[in-house]
Structure 1
Amino acid sequence: MNKIVRWTSVLAVVTLGFAAAAQAQDGKDLAKSHACFTCHAMAGTKVGPGFAEIAAKFAGKPNAAQTLAEAMEHGEKGTFGAMPMPAQAGLTDSDAKLIADWILSQKK
């Protein structure tokens, strides 16, 4: 019985790992499909800050994913300087949240 419990636990951890990896890929694919890479790079500034810089700035902050999702949906200015982030037309709440979660998973 103990072996079954251990294998079930291992299977659950592996499944969660695959789910997180799939969600991260979904976030990156959504960022590509919504043209986020037009203004943002993985690291370094293009028009706006790189995803790694965004992740670093919001690391550990409460409600970081929600804050980023709202910035994408409604626009934002001042967090990274004078260049505003315009509202992204056609971005759903769920897509914005997936993209925000993916951005926050990026490391410098």
Structure 2
Amino acid sequence: MNVRQVYDPIQPDEDVLADLSRIYELWAQARARFGHGGDFLFGEFGAADIMFAPVATRIVTYSLPCPRFAMGYIITLINHPWMQDWIAAAQEEEWVLEQYEQPVK
């Protein structure tokens, strides 16, 4: 997971688009059924949000297509204090793994 980069958008493979579609469907269902009373998947911040945190950051890092409702959730998730601490710690890392500084082509 590289939160220090945001790559230019490219057209994802069909398999990636299918995976994204399924993720967005899961997020929409969770929000519709259980998300009342909060901004996270099940209302209040919880384990499901923690599990999807790396997925959310990758959607941003790789500039993947994202419906408006899902981007709203990603922004809410990234703005959570724990995520902000995690991202700040990543920004302070001194070492760099060059093979992860460029998108895979």
With normalisation by structure 1, the TM-score equals 0.30
- Larger-Rg structure: 1
